[in-house]
Structure 1
C-alpha cells in the first residue's frame, strides 16, 4: 500500500526514508519511553502498514490494522501544537474507521496526557475534555541507573552476581563480538527460533497462547532490525560459547541521558548467560553513549517478564497511556 488519503489529508507511507523527518520532531519532545525512537517503531512495523503526516506542525504516526487506523504515538512536536493535533488526528481516524471505538492513541507519556487535558481550548473546561476522552493507563517502562546494573552491589543483587559468577566459571571460553548484521544474521535467526521454542515450553499455558500470537511479529522485527542495522545506527553485541552464538542484544539512545535495550535473546539452556550479557551490554551502552539510565521497555503484560524486570530494582517506572475518544 502506498499513500493513504483520509478526510482530504494525505498520509504518507512510513519507510526507512522517514527517519530524518521523524527524528527532527522527536528532538522537540522530552520523552524517556522506549517507544519514542524511529528505530523502535520502524522495526516493529515490519509486518504492518505504517503511515505518517505532519498535522498542526506535529509528526503523527498511524498504523493500519484490519482496515482500522490507530496511532502508535501521540503527535510529536512543540507543546503548544500537540493538543490541536490530537483532535485533528481523531477526526482522521474516525473518518476512516468503521467505528469510533477503534480510534486511539497508544504509548502516550504521562506528561503529555497532563498537557493534553490542561491545554484545552479556553472555551472547554478540563471537565469537558475528560467528558470527551478516556485516558487509560496501560504498561510501564522499566528504567534503571546504569551504574547499578554494572556494579550489582548489595544484597538485592546477590542472586544476579551468583548467576554471573557461575556462568563465567562454567564457560571461561566465552567470546563477545560487536554485532555484524551480515556475519551473524543466520546464527541470530537460528537462536531466535530456538529461544521461541524454549520460551513457549516454559511459559504458563495461558501466557503461551497469547504470546504465540505475537511470535510472527517479533520474528519479522528481528529480520527488519538485521536488514537495516547500519541505517538505523544501532549498537549491539553477540556472545559465543564453544564456538556457537548463544546470545545477542541490540540498543540505541533515547535521549541524552538514557539508552534503551531494544531486544535481547539468549539460550535458556546456558544458565547465567542472560544476566551476563545484560551486564556487559550495560557497560558498552554507558561507554558509547555516556548515559546515566537504561530503559528496557515494558513487560508486555507477562507476569514472568515483570518479575525479571522488577528483580533488577528499577529506578523509575514510567507509565504509558492510551487515549480514546468517547
Structure 2
C-alpha cells in the first residue's frame, strides 16, 4: 500500500513495520490506557485505513474513514514535543478533510490535555486553546487491582465466586490452555460464530441489524489477532469443555505495572464461563508480567457492558478525551 502525502507530509501505512517505531515512543511516556499499544490499534484497523508519521519527534497515528482523516491517538512522544505535533496534525487533517469539523484526536489521556493547555504563560495559553479547540471527555477505562480479581474476597464479589463455583461443579472436565494461534484458530473462530448467532437470537430485529453491520470488523480483528499473534507479543487463554473451545481471551502488558485485556469471548450458554476465564487470565497476567493492575478497556457506551465492568469494583476509572477544533 502506498504512502499518502497530505500538506507535504508523507503518511506511511500502519503495518507491522510501525511496531518498533511506536513502541520506542511509548517507552518515553507514562500511560495506563488500553489504547496505547501497537496491538490494540493494529488488530482493529482495516488493511487500508491506518497511517502514521513521525512529526516533531512524536509518533502520530491517523485513520481515514470515508475519505476523512482523524487521529486514533494523540502524538506519542516526549512532553516538550507534543504540543507542536498536535497543531501540525490538525493542519494535516484540515488539508485533507472536506471540513475542519471532521478533524479530531481521540483517546487523549488527561496528562496530554493538561500539557496542551499549559505553558510558561499559562493564562494566555489557556485562552488561546479555548479559542481554537474543544476538549470533550468521552469514555473511561476500567482498571482493577489484579489481586482482587484473583482472590475475589468479600461480600462485593460473592456473586462472582458463586458463578465460578457453579461453573466448576457443572463442567468438571473443563480446562484451560495458553492460547496457541495455530492450534486454536479453528476452535476460536467456531466459538466466535456461535457467539454472534447467539447474540442475534436474543436481540430485537432492529437491534440485530445494527449489530450485524458492525460484526464484520470484530471478526476481522479476531482473525488479524490470531494471524499475527506471535509478532504482536500477545498472551492469551482458551477454555475447553467436552473437547470444544468455549471461551478465549487475549491481552498484553501496557506498562511496568499494568496489563490489559484486549478481547474476550465465551459461550453464552455456559454459565460462569466468562467469570472463570477472566479470573484465570488475571492469574496468568500477574504470573507472567508481575503486574499490579489490569485494564479491561472502556464500555464503548453500552449500559450493559458498563454494569458488568462496574460489578468487578474498579480500582480507578481512567478518563479519555477527544480534542476538536472550533
Q: When the two structures are superposed, what TM-score results if normalisation uses the length of structure 1? A: 0.96
3-state SS of 1:182 partner: helix
- Aligned residue number for residue 147 of structure 2: 147
**Aligned residues of 1:207 and 1:302 also touching (Cα < 8 A):** no
What is the CA–CA distance in structure 1 between the aligned matches of 2:128 and 2:115, rounded to whole Å? 15
2:217 and 2:139 map into 1 onto residues whose CA distance is: 19
Report the Cα distance in structure 1 between the residues aligned to 2:204 and 2:153, rounded to whole angstroms: 32
Alpha-carbon deviation of 1:201? Answer: 3.5
Distance 1:152 1:202 in 2: 30
Please name the residue that 1:247 is paired with: 247
The residue number in structure 2 matching 1:284 is: 284
SS at match of 1:44: coil
SS of the equivalent of 1:283 reads: helix
CA drift of 1:160 comes to 0.3
1:13-36 superposed Cα distances (whole Å, 9 cap, x missing partner): 110111111100111111111000
Change in Cα spacing, 1:265 to 1:4, as seen in structure 2 (3 Å) is: same
SS of the counterpart of 2:237? strand
* Paired position in structure 1 for 2:118: 118
8 Å CA contact 2:13, 2:48 repeated in 1: no
Does residue 78 of structure 2 align to residue 78 of structure 1?
A: yes
- Bigger mean CA deviation after superposition, 312-321 or 121-130: 121-130
Which secondary structure does the structure 2 equivalent of 1:163 belong to?
helix
204-213 vs 262-271, which deviates more? 204-213
State the shift of 1:120 in Å. 7.9
Contact kept in structure 2, 1:103 and 1:325, CA below 8 Å: yes
Q: Is the alpha carbon distance of 1:29 and 1:205 closer, same or farther for their aligned partners in structure 2, counting shifts above 3 Å?
A: farther
Partner of 1:134: 134
RMSD between aligned alpha carbons? Answer: 1.6
Distance change (3 Å), C-alpha of 1:201 and 1:112: farther
Q: Secondary structure at the match of 2:200?
A: helix
Would you say the 8 A contact 1:239–1:247 is kept in 2?
yes
Equivalent residue, structure 2, for 1:62: 62
Report the Cα distance in structure 2 between the residues aligned to 1:120 and 1:215, rounded to whole angstroms.
48
Whole-angstrom CA distance in 1 between matches of 2:207 and 2:109:
27
Q: Residues of 2 paired with 1:70 and 1:62: CA distance?
A: 6
Deviations 1:213-250 (A, max 9, x none): 32111111000000000001100110000111100000
Aligned pairs, how many?
A: 326
Equivalent-residue separation in structure 1 for 2:101 and 2:300 (angstroms): 22
SS of the aligned residue for 1:164 comes to helix
2:224 aligned with 1:224, yes or no? yes
Residues 1:320 and 1:191: Cα distance change in structure 2 (over 3 Å):
same
The 10-residue stretch of structure 1 (276-285 or 114-123) with the greater mean CA deviation from structure 2: 114-123
Say if 1:47 and 1:220, in contact at 8 Å, map to a contact too.
no
1:11 aligns with 2:11: yes
CA contact (8 A) 2:53 2:60 kept: yes
> Gaps (5+ residues) in structure 2?
none
Distance (Å, rounded) in 2 between the aligned partners of 1:140 and 1:209 = 27
Separation in 1, partners of 2:232, 2:281: 18
Separation in 1, partners of 2:309, 2:55:
37
CA distance in 1, matches of 2:307, 2:208: 17
For residues 204 and 298 of structure 1, the distance between their equivalents in structure 2, rounded to whole angstroms, comes to: 25
What SS class does the counterpart of residue 255 from structure 1 fall into? coil
Distance in 2 between residues matched to 1:277 and 1:81, nearest whole Å: 42
Find the aligned partners of 1:10 and 1:121 in 2 and give their Cα distance.
33
